């Protein structure tokens, strides 16, 4: 039920980073870079809308998405929902790809600056911290796959999964 919160919040974080990059590039960077930023922003917005609708309309009764967790409602209503696993895995994979793009985009910016190599390496190290979010998304993908397809023991898997989600979203 809270899957859509992950989709929306991950998208909003990416949008804020991309908006920051767009603000950095005002009147100083190539049109190609600006275009890439706008394409990335459109892709993130499309991701948020598409997966929010995919999750919300995944049940035959619209109320079932929200109320299917209630045992009393489930017992008294007839509904059907698609399996959420493939949707969640697809959302995580798309989010991982978008994180990689958002982390790599600024690296092309500072490489063309006229500063010495030590400063370029320092800037590269700062921007490489964004790749940590990508690795955390990869770990989230791994644990999500285990939780959905290999082990239904959520109490054993969930603490590790929640820790990695928190690490990914804190970047």
Tens of pLDDT along 49-63? 998 888 778 777 777
| Domains of the chain, residue spans | 3-170
Q: Is 59 helix (H, G, I), strand (E, B) or coil?
A: strand
Please calculate the CA angle 22-24-27 and round it to the nearest 5 degrees.
90
Is the whole-model pTM more than 0.85? Answer: no
Query: CA quadruple 125, 25, 100, 96: dihedral positive or negative?
Result: positive
Residue range 79-92, pLDDT digits in tens:
777 777 888 888 88
Q: What is the pLDDT of residue 92?
A: 85
- Tell me the average confidence (pLDDT) per consecutive run of 10 residues in the chain, 171 residues long: 77 90 75 88 94 81 72 79 81 88 82 82 83 80 81 66 61 51
Q: What is the pLDDT of residue 152?
A: 65
Q: What is the pLDDT of residue 69?
A: 72
Q: What is the pLDDT of residue 163?
A: 66
Residues contacting residue 19 through CB under 8 Å, at least 6 positions apart: 41
């Amino acid at each position: 039920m809270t899957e859509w919160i992950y989709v929306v919040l991950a998208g909003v974080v990416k949008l804020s980073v991309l908006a920051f990059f767009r603000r950095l590039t005002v009147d100083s960077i190539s049109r190609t870079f600006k275009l890439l930023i706008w394409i990335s922003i459109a892709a993130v917005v499309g991701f948020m809308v598409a997966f929010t609708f995919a999750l919300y309309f995944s049940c035959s009764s619209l109320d079932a998405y929200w109320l299917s967790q209630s045992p009393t409602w489930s017992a008294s209503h007839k509904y059907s929902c698609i399996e959420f696993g493939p949707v969640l895995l697809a959302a995580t994979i798309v989010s991982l790809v978008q994180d990689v793009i958002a982390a790599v985009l600024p690296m092309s910016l500072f490489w063309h600056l006229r500063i010495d190599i030590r400063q370029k390496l320092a800037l590269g190290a700062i921007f490489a911290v964004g790749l940590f979010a990508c690795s955390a998304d990869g770990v989230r993908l791994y644990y999500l796959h285990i939780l959905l397809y290999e082990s239904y023991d959520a109490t054993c898997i969930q603490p590790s999964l929640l820790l990695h989600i928190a690490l990914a979203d804190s970047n």
